[in-house]
Amino acid sequence: MDIRKIAVLGSGRLGRGIAETAASSGFDVLLFSQGAGTHYAPSQIEKSLDKKLAKWGITESEKRVILSKISYTSDLKELANVDLVVEATVDHFYTKQELLRTADHLCKPNVVFITTLTTLSISELARGISRPESLVGLHFIPPVPETPVVELSRGFDTSDEAVAVATRFAKALKKEIVEIAESPGLVNTRALLTLVNEAAYMIDEGVGDAIAVEKIIKQGWGLTQGPLEMADRIGLDNVLHLMNQLREELGERFTPCPLIRRYVRSNRLGVKTGRGFFTYARDNIFETPIEQED
């Protein structure tokens, strides 16, 4: 089946990134969101494109075409017309399962479901839908438009046909697909959280302040973003949640550093509240950290 129209469920940073990238690659995108995201997503996607335009990454007409390819809805009934569903909500099992169950009822019979989960089990999630063979794990790594690689994983029942569709979709988005076994945190999230946690410990122990720790890791390894900035962009509440899930699966080595807990309790959640390990000029995505706090 030709994939022309896709649905992205979830309009957070990941969902918006997937929607923008898919629209840039010529897909018609239906971005499903509820609550604040409904109003927030269109302006955030436009801001992201404006940033690219200002840096000559796209042209004004390309921006218009991309925007015209994204429509927004909070009505899941519209899923009846899509060729592929990408579930991109935060890693809460019951939220994801409920959404996928609804999509399962509404979508055409041969639609493939992609889930972006990292710390949860695809096989377990697939148990809640009538077509478990159609569920594929495709972990897009934020910032989605810029990151060239995705992690692909299968559940116990995932079919080769569904993997082929997911692979074709990811390739159309110009992503390199690396298939790995279904496992908590996959590779990227597991490695990143380990690094974020250890960096937080180093700050907490006074080895160095956030700027020093970030600079040494970032510049020493030639990264475009350091782990602390990445954590601020993911949201420290999400980081804490993911770490707790990984601790349940993988043991005490994923016990969150107390500094992360303290920051979350004091609403220092990163970019979205303007303060995390760093403070930010505005509470926008893609802002540069300008000063260190504490």
Per CB under 8 A, residues contacting other proteins are 4, 26, 52, 55-59, 65, 146
Beta bridge partners, 32, equal: 9, 73
Residue 55 or 282 having the CB closest to other proteins: 55
Task: Give the residue with the Cβ less far from other proteins, 63 or 241.
Answer: 63
Shortest separation between residue 5's beta carbon and other proteins, angstroms: 11
Is 134:84 a contact under the CB 8 Å cutoff? no
- Residue 178, strand partner residues: 151
Residues 6+ apart with CB under 8 A from 189: 118, 119, 139, 242, 246
The structure tokens listed for 125 are 């999630």
Rounded to an integer, what distance in angstroms lies between the CA atom of residue 161 and that of residue 2?
Answer: 13
Nearest approach in angstroms of CB 195 to other proteins is 23
Q: Which is nearer to other proteins, 47 or 247 (CB)?
A: 47
Tell the smallest beta-carbon distance from residue 26 to other proteins (Å): 7
Q: Which is nearer to other proteins, 146 or 198 (CB)?
A: 146
Orientation of helix 188-204 relative to helix 210-220, angle to 10° = 140
User: What minimum distance in Å lies between the beta carbon of 233 and other proteins?
Assistant: 17
147/176 Cα distance (integer angstroms)? 9
Distance CA 109, CA 87 (A): 17
- Supply the minimum distance, in Å, between the C-beta of residue 56 and other proteins: 3
Nearer to other proteins, 57 or 128 (CB): 57
